[in-house]
Structure 1
Amino acid sequence: MSASLPELRGEKVVLRPFTPEDITADYIGWLNDRHVTRFSNQRFREHTFDTCRAYLASFEGTPNLFVSVRLASNGQAIGTMSAYRNPHHNTCDVGIMIGAREYWSGGYGQESWNLLLDWLLAREPDGGGVRKVTAGTLACNGGMVKLMERSGMTCEGVRVAQEIVEGEPQDIVLYGRFA
């Protein structure tokens, strides 16, 4: 996968590369919103314009992608996705955050997820495609588990009691899908 992503358009969302102009107060607010990041280790960090610029810069010169999720209707940013590729194995680990809570449970995350996975898996490996996509989440993150399963991913493993959420040990569930 080259580090470039064409615009991917669905009925509800458009995916495009995340740019420095996408680092806005709203975006930083999502990252600092403990409800949005409840199941993410992002909840342990304080995010600023500088930390966000550094994170975006970490993608430069790599085969990895940082993606802006936007409404198809008006271009409003509602979330982000990441895709970390291991070119030695032609695998890619994907993550998603729909930060604008008013778009939760409306199919926006699912469409975004499906668009990116289908694009990654449909391309030839020598053209930047991958043979397998992986993802993981806490088992208590039911929305993410459903999203992965609805996209055709299957559970490949469990890291038992791996992380603590609200004082309780939680499993991490690991999913995968082949091309």
Structure 2
Amino acid sequence: MNLPALSTPRLHLRPLALADAPAFAAYHTDPEVARYQSWDVPYSLAKAEALARESEAAPLLGELWATLMLLAGETMLGNLSLHLTGHRTAEVGFTLAREHWGKGYALEGLNALLDWLFTGADLHRVHASLDPRNERSAALLGRAGFRYEGCSVQAYWHRDEWTDDAHYAVLASEWRENKV
């Protein structure tokens, strides 16, 4: 399955490209952006370039995480991440540069991705997980129609501490019902 380019009234979503690497590394290095994320800070340009090369070499969705860049015109806002996890299921994630927080871009991009996943890719279930202290991301998932499924206590080691892992999901049937 090919990773799509998607559009909304304000946004264009397309796969990560090598030219995106400097901006990608810059916002991934912001301590506030990375606070609840799994990567180490600073996020190196070499790491961003390697991810972009991997993305360009393997544009098909598969076992690896895929990255879709969120753009408003020529302005790079952040990215959505996507990982096929099983039969007609996927995990999603999102990262937005701090200067673009609170403007609805992540929700708009996530809704476009969900629309494609449930209609174009015919998925059954999409899930996400996050540190439950990340209240803004939890609220975003709720606005996108995800339901809270529970929390794994002290489930992973992150930034020198055991961290909880909150689980969210939405089924295609729920998404269709809520979309109307």
Give CA-to-partner distance per residue, 1:10-51, whole Å, 9 cap, x none: 233221121111112x32111111111001111x25422321
Three-state SS of the structure 1 residue aligned to 2:115 is: helix
**What residue in structure 2 maps to residue 146 of structure 1?**
139
Three-state SS of the structure 2 residue aligned to 1:63 is: coil
Three-state SS of the structure 2 residue aligned to 1:41 is: coil
Which has the larger helix fraction?
2
1:105, 1:75 → 2: CA distance?
19
1:63, 1:165 → 2: CA distance?
27
Q: Which amino acid aligns with 1:41?
A: S
RCO higher in 1 or 2 (8 Å CA, sep ≥ 6)? 1
Tell me, yes or no, if structure 1 residue 108 matches structure 2 residue 101.
no
Deviates more, 1:106-115 or 1:62-71: 62-71
How do residues 34-113 of structure 1 correspond to structure 2 at under 5 angstroms? Answer: 34-42=31-39, 44-59=40-55, 60-61=57-58, 62-64=60-62, 65-71=66-72, 74-86=73-85, 88-99=86-97, 101-113=98-110
1:135, 1:49 → 2: CA distance?
26
Three-state SS of the structure 1 residue aligned to 2:123 is: coil
**What residue in structure 2 maps to residue 20 of structure 1?**
18
Three-state SS of the structure 1 residue aligned to 2:33 is: coil
RMSD: 2.1
**TM-score using structure 1 length:** 0.83
The alignment-based identity, stated in percent, is 24
**TM-score using structure 2 length:** 0.82
**What residue in structure 2 maps to residue 29 of structure 1?**
26
Structure 2 stretches of 5 or more lacking a match?
173-180
1:67, 1:122 → 2: CA distance?
18
The alpha-carbon deviation at position 171 of structure 1 amounts to 2.3
Give CA-to-partner distance per residue, 1:109-131, whole Å, 9 cap, x none: 111111111111112xxxx4311
